[in-house]
A and B are shown apart, each in its own frame.
Chain A
Amino acid sequence: MLCKLAWGNVRRAGRDYLVYLLTLTLGVTVFYAFNTVSMQVDIAGIKEEGLSELMGSMLGYLTYFLAGVMAFLMVYANNFIMKRRKKEFGLYQVLGMRRGRVATIMALETVIVSVGAFVAGIVLGVGLSQLMTFFTASLFKTQIANFHFFFSVHAFNLTLACMLVMFVLTLLLNLRAVRRTKLIELMGAERRNESIKTRNPWIAIAIFVVGVVLVGVAYYRLLRDGFPLTATEGKLQEAMNQFGITTAMVTVGTFALFWGLSGMLIKLLQSLRSVYWRGLNMFTVRQLAAKVNTVCFSMGVIAMILFLAITSVTCGMSIANVMNENLERYNPVDVSQTYVYYTPETLDYYKEYVNPSEADRMVLADATVDLYAAWHGERKSADNNDEAGKKVNIADVAGEHVQIDSYLSYTLGGSDPSVTAGEMCKAMGEKLPKVLEGSNADDMGLFVTPASQYNKLRQMMGEEPVSIGRDQYVLTCDMGGELGDLYTKYMAGGHTLTLDGHELKPATDKSDEDTAAIANSAMGSNPGTVVVADELLSQLNLQPYSSNLLVNYKQGMDTTEADESIKYTLLDNLLVDGKEPGSWGVFITRSEMYTQAAQMNGMISYLAIYIGFVLVVACAAILSIQQLSNVADGSRSYRVLAQIGCDDRQIRHSVMAQQAVFFLFPLAVGLAHSFVALKVIIELVSTFGNMSIGGTVGLTCAIFLAAYGGYFLVTYLMSAGMVQAAIATRYSE
């Protein structure tokens, strides 16, 4: 009996429950689908060990976050329904039903809807996760070899547990609502308080203007100061404080803006008399004003959340893109090995703090060493293979190879670099690139490399050698972006460099970033190098800094096998006259970099999409619920409009206009904030590479907008239906 009643209620109140059902279903779908990511990674054929576990655990933490957001949404949607159903529950009590039974009916209703949502959500989630497998594969740049249908028991259990918790939570809230509320309140719940909050429009306008000014100043400050990431240590605290002020300004400004919005809108439109007194414009504006007053806070929150979501998604994915796009340039060869020479500072440090006896073995290098000859050693035993201890030599795998030596731009025993980016900027009268700002750019010198080595690398990469005369130089840098532009500009401008008393002229007018890498790397290895003629270099007696051996495997050799054969090698100490001039540095294979970048890219993309999607959907759902409840509250007004001869189309337009404002205003403000923030971020990141917003970012944003717009559309269609129903109701009822 009670079940029948509950089922009937759910069907009858279907429209109210639909919002709840949709939100819950969507929650379950996203929840399930994202928790199957580790399984997707397996099926997508991504072999990298540990990745699926890592992804799984990362997303696992986010699951809690998602659960929190969803719980908030559930409670919000549930309150919406309860407000609508109060009278009915009151009626049962008036008819003599005990509270316990009323509560049971309500619990049953919640069970029906929750079970419905859960089943629908799991079905959709299973479907979505199959589709996402392809997406995962494309993110991680692999092909699906063996696709098969899968179902994750783990994700199912997790989703079920979360749903149960949420279910119990909403149930408790509802029971409390029934128990606490007095009968008279339940019965009268439909009668609204007809007084509306009115604000003095002039005060509202003033607040609005203050909001706009605050936001504007905050934008200006952000554009001027940037993020406090590049500040040097002394200034960091102050920069952070300034940034804090800017953040506070934009936050307060956003809320003020929404607070004053309604007054602003009214005054603005009223001053346009022929617009205001036309059709339903006046009604639309007043209706908006009345509602904006009560929801200005949530509109502000939504604008800020959208801002965060848009910014983090765009930014995260763009950085991942940059890394991916420049990968080829950053990794010119199959494998590279770095050797770093000791500097006077390292020696002093060892002598003083580490171990003087160890320092005795160390010596300041006066010449570079031959890495190709020195690269040999034993296979590490730590690795679980049966070849531990086997002798490994680079000559076993190496085909073409080149050694690039980087010298500091000062002579042995010196300490002041003669060529710095700071000096170059000064010479050209340019501002320092953002990334160098506040750092001690003047102390960091450029490296110096002999032309023969540079040209050999170019040849290896299929490029024409550059002829560099004794009094000429070429600047190289593989980081692109602002730094690369700086060097190109310097050379194109024909500026001279003075290296230890020798004045040099540019040999070309462009810094070629594609052949500038001096080792394999994830984010670039060469912040700036002066390439000079070998004769000059040998004459200068500069301090060696590092040597890099860049090796391509022998023709026809399998890359994976070659990687494997030299990967776990413990290189023998390199001794010159029984002393160590430096130490072995990083060993990087190209395939490793590619895999890492693909993983990083996939990871960032996943996180960005996951967080962004959840936030956007949550915002849209809240707006949707608010709007539907507005329409339900206003159904009487729409009936009146119909009766005094307003046709349906006009009424629908008014509803559309109202909802468009509610959906679009926070989005517009959020987008404006993001735009400014992204501009600064792009400037910052462009030091490393040309950050472009497009491709996956565009697609992701399109998906978000589709989700947001979809909610808008559904809300509008449902509202139009509610209005139609309200109009069709005979007023005698």
Chain B
Amino acid sequence: MQTTQTATPVLEVAHLEKVYGALGNVTRALNDVSFTVNRGEFVGIMGASGSGKSTLLNCVSTIDSATSGTIRINGQDVTRMKQAKLSQFRREELGFIFQDSNLLDTLTARENIALPLTIARTNSAEISTRVQDVAARLSISQVLDKYPYQMSGGQQQRVAAARALVTDPTMIMADEPTGALDSKSARLLLESLEALNRRLRATVLMVTHDSFAASYTSRVLFIRDGKIFTELRRGDTDRREFFDRIMEVVAMMGGEGSDAL
């Protein structure tokens, strides 16, 4: 069982708060959020629009700054980091997958995947082998020399995943990665992520509002009104059953008068 593995926390979030706006007109997007993610976990974060899930991901991924609280990734407190250090940190520790694949239009798939490596000034021979490797793992070797507009949505998303993985990041951040995909492509991508997590012990943090996507994870955090509402662990149950349990929570959250999901 995954929860029983020798738990080294990769991500520790403690009393995280994020407040927007000035005096008198304050929006509390995150209100005392605390949780940990262990190495090798595949964690989903679910919540309705405006629940604060994207804010949470932004804070964790160092793109946005927290108002108070701490975020530790691999033991380093990212809320205290300077701007210059943050870029380096993002480059070395994190991998990103976005809703729209966010590939650069002018670069081929190979170049898109290689980008994080070239930014880090890896030597060109190593870049070549690592790109080939990760492309093979995500079965996109045949599209490496195509431009994004020549690929299907699913292929684009897998190229984006390859770009996130190529640096061997401590943690992969996925923000609604299946949001723009048809169901078949979505399934393929989720299976790839699951496989990466299982086989390569990659730690994945995925934000989604799709119960089906969430059912591929090993643990789901539900967020509502800026607070962690509840948490579901998959345990030994199969994906189908986990999906049903997720649906129950979603229904409950919706039933209490919050936004429908």
Contacts and interface: CB of A to CB of B under 8 A. Distances in A.
Q: Is the interface of A mostly helix, strand, loop or mixed?
A: helix
Given A290-B105, A637-B104, A644 B90 contact: yes
A731 B98 contact: yes
A645 B116 contact: yes
A646 B88 CA distance: 7
B147 A281 contact: no
Contact of B58 (A636, A645, A730): A730
A196 B98 contact: no
A273 B123 CA distance: 10
A412 interface: no
Given A196-B147, A282-B111, A282-B115, A646 B106 contact: no
A644 B115 contact: yes
Contact of B64 (A195, A278, A287, A730): A730
B74 interface: no
Interface of A: 194-196, 198, 273-274, 276-283, 286-287, 289-290, 636-637, 640-648, 650, 730-732
A286 B127 contact: no
26 contacts: A194-B148, A196-B149, A274-B124, A278-B118, A280-B118, A282-B111, A286-B104, A640-B102, A640-B104, A641-B104, A642-B87, A643-B61, A643-B63, A645-B88, A645-B90, A645-B91, A645-B92, A645-B119, A646-B87, A648-B83, A730-B63, A730-B64, A731-B58, A731-B63, A731-B98, A731-B175
Going nearest first, the 8 A-B pairs with the smallest beta carbon separation are A645-B91, A647-B87, A645-B90, A277-B124, A732-B54, A286-B106, A195-B149, A290-B106
B91 A644 contact: yes
Nearest to B57: A732
A642 B87 CA distance: 7
Given A278-B118, A286-B111, 11 more contacts: A195-B149, A274-B123, A276-B124, A277-B124, A277-B128, A278-B124, A283-B111, A640-B102, A646-B87, A650-B119, A731-B63
B91 A646 contact: yes
A324 B105 CA distance: 58
Contacts of B114: 277, 282
B121 interface: yes
A155 B104 CA distance: 51
A644 B147 contact: no
Contacts of B127: 277
A194 B121 contact: no
A323 B84 CA distance: 60
Contact of A279 (B63, B84, B118): B118
Interface in B74-119: 83-84, 87-92, 94, 96, 98, 102-107, 111, 114-119
Nearest to B102: A640
Interface in B165-214: 175
A644 B64 contact: no
B232 to A, nearest CB: 24
B107 A279 contact: no
A289 B124 CA distance: 21
A134 B63 CA distance: 55
B31 interface: no
B2 interface: no
A280 B107 CA distance: 11
A41 to B, nearest CB: 54
B106 A287 contact: yes
Contact of B163 (A278, A644, A647): A644
Contacts of A642: 87
Contacts of A732: 54-55, 58
Given A644-B116, A644-B163, A647-B88, A196 B121 contact: no
A278 B104 contact: no
B166 to A, nearest CB: 10
A276 B117 CA distance: 12
Nearest to A192: B105
Contacts of B55: 732
Nearest to B103: A640
A318 to B, nearest CB: 44
